[in-house]
Structure 1
Amino acid sequence: MTIEIAVQDVDGARIALEEGADRVELCMALGATGGLTPSFGLIQSCAHVGLPQGVQALIRSRAGSFVFDEGEKHVQAVDVRFAILAGASGVVVGGLASDGGIDLDFARRLAEAAREEGERCNRRVQLTFHRAFDMVPDQFAALDALIDLGYDRVLTSGGAPNAGEGAWRLRELVGHAAGRIQIQAGGGVTLDNIGDVRATGVDAVHLSAKRLVASAGGPGGGGDTPIERTDRDFVRAAVAAMR
């Protein structure tokens, strides 16, 4: 059972490594936006931490709707290439069409960009379709489409508000996938429901394990807005529960 921790800084990646996680999903502004594309320097620095399965970089140019215009799609395709160049082991991507289904042309474009850059860097990169998957009306058809496009895994709560409530659908998705693509449970995974999520047979569990740290602010410092940090105790407990 693979454990992925969503982190936003190098310290978070180090905590994930030291407490026994397998890989991290790296993003920025997680609490405020659900996660945005991290910088080249942040990806490179976290890649050097040395996690067993490396860094999965979230590629998402803005918060809000998963329906992107052509300019936003171009930016994300470029960001895929730069994330891999910076050292990411994989990218976490996705987008929806106006009818609510997966934007297959965009998903294909992102996959091609990732594979081409991976070949230039002489390594195979992993492709994860993010939780836009939870918005599609027919998850089984969407899963088949992503398998055809060669995606490695899907991050999903089973379409529910959190993975605990979506456990029944996660179990169905695992059965439908039949080993053709990994099902990674994510979204609202806590120490209280992690056992139920694990019991669905998913290939991996994803959790943020974050806590808020007070910020002194100061001139130009954004006031007293708290900072999100990875909670070492949470990660340790989650890894123990999964193992």
Structure 2
Amino acid sequence: MSNRAVLEVIALDAQDAVAAQAGGADRLELVTDMAADGLTPARETFAAIRAAVDIPLRVMLRQEDGFATGDIDRLLGRLGELREAGADQFVFGFLDREGHADLVAVERIVAELDGCPWTFHRAIDRATDRGSLRKQLADLPGLDTYLTAGAATGVDDGVPTLLDEAARSDEPGYEPQILVGGGLRLDHLPSLRAAGLDAFHIGGAARPHGWTGPVDEAAVRTWREAVDA
């Protein structure tokens, strides 16, 4: 089973987490406040989810909507609390005003991670130059995943970019796994899987009643089966 595709599901609380794991999720992305595109959850929320499930958890590090860093010292404080509670995988990504990677912020966070694995999230889809961003980040310890739709507007528009980047996985900066997410639909999967893409991220697709409702185990299972098909 080690070569099966990864299915990551957004979880807001322990109820979501239990349903997602039961439906076949391999990993969870923990956030709060999806109206702001997902912010750092409370330490207590992380602890409750960690106690409820045994699959890997990637915790969002973001304080405000958008891709600016905000108060980096405050964010590092939140990171310290989460690390003390046992968090050992993370999700973050910051751009400067010109749309380049905010290396100062990213490197400060990475320095506190002690090698923990992390995902650079969809900030890459807003970057001025995706290729140069990948090269900027290429040597940072722990970076093993890019969460991307291939385009700021979502997977529909991003498929050509995703296929191109998947074909370059042996080039410097392109080694991290591509985790496809952002407007991802079941009908996208066949062409993405055929191109060798093997990691998928869903949020709203796991919630038939929208973000005000919980993750639905059956919805996650439908995705599990489609990803594995």
Q: What TM-score results when the alignment is normalised by the length of structure 1?
A: 0.83
Say which SS state the counterpart of residue 38 (structure 1) adopts: coil
Partner of residue 40, structure 1: 43
For residues 164 and 27 of structure 1, do their structure 2 counterparts lie closer, same or farther at Cα, with a shift above 3 Å needed? same
Aligned match of 1:187: 182
For residue 25 of structure 1, what is the aligned residue in structure 2? 29
Which residue of structure 1 lines up, in the alignment, with residue 58 of structure 2? Answer: 56
Partner residue in 2 for 1:198: 193
Matched, 1:235 2:220: yes
Q: Which amino acid aligns with 1:45?
A: A
Q: Partners of 1:84 and 1:194 in 2: how far apart?
A: 34
Secondary structure of 1:193's partner?
A: helix
Q: Specify which of 138, 160, 165 is matched with residue 147 of structure 1.
A: 138
In the TM superposition, what whole-angstrom CA distance separates every residue of 1:181-229 from its partner, at most 9, and x where no partner exists? 111111011223233333332241110112437xxxxxxxxxxxx7231
The aligned residue for residue 15 of structure 1 is 19
Contact persistence 1:143–1:177 (CA under 8 A): no
Query: Counterpart in 1 of 2:155?
Result: 163
Where does residue 207 of structure 1 map in the other structure? 202
Q: Percent identity?
A: 28
- Match runs of 1:129-140 below 5 Å: 129-140=120-131
Structure 1's 83 and 62: CA in aligned 2 closer, same or farther, altered over 3 A? Answer: same
| Mapped partners of 1:190, 1:161: distance in 2 | 14
Q: Which has the higher contact order (CA 8 A, sep 6+)?
A: 2
Report the TM-score when normalising by structure 2.
Answer: 0.87
3-state DSSP of counterpart to 1:56: strand
Q: Which amino acid aligns with 2:46?
A: I
- Give the Å deviation of 1:160: 4.2
The Cα shift of 1:89 comes to: 3.2
Change (3 A) 1:176 1:60: same
CA distance in 2, matches of 1:94, 1:160: 14
**Deviating runs (4+, > 6 A) in structure 1?**
none
2:101 is equivalent to residue 89 of structure 1: no
Find the aligned partners of 2:88 and 2:208 in 1 and give their Cα distance. 26
| Distance in 1 separating the partners of 2:156 and 2:79 | 31
State whether residues 98 and 128 of structure 2, in contact with CA within 8 Å, keep that contact through their aligned partners in structure 1.
no
Cα 1:43–1:94 shift into 2, 3 Å:
same
**In structure 2, how many angstroms separate the alpha carbons of the residues matched to 1:197 and 1:234?**
20
Between stretches 166-175 and 100-109, larger displacement belongs to: 166-175
Letter in 2 for 1:180: E
Q: Which residue is 2:98 aligned to?
A: 99
Q: 1:128 aligned to 119, 125, 145, which one?
A: 119
Letter in 1 for 2:148: T
Q: C-alpha separation between the residues in 1 aligned to 2:73 and 2:213?
A: 29
CA separation of 1:62 and 1:242: change in aligned 2, threshold 3 A: same
Show structure 2 runs of 5+ residues with no match.
Answer: none
* Count of aligned pairs: 218
> Counterpart of 1:173?
165
Root mean square deviation, CA, Å:
1.9
Distance 2:81 2:164 in 1: 35
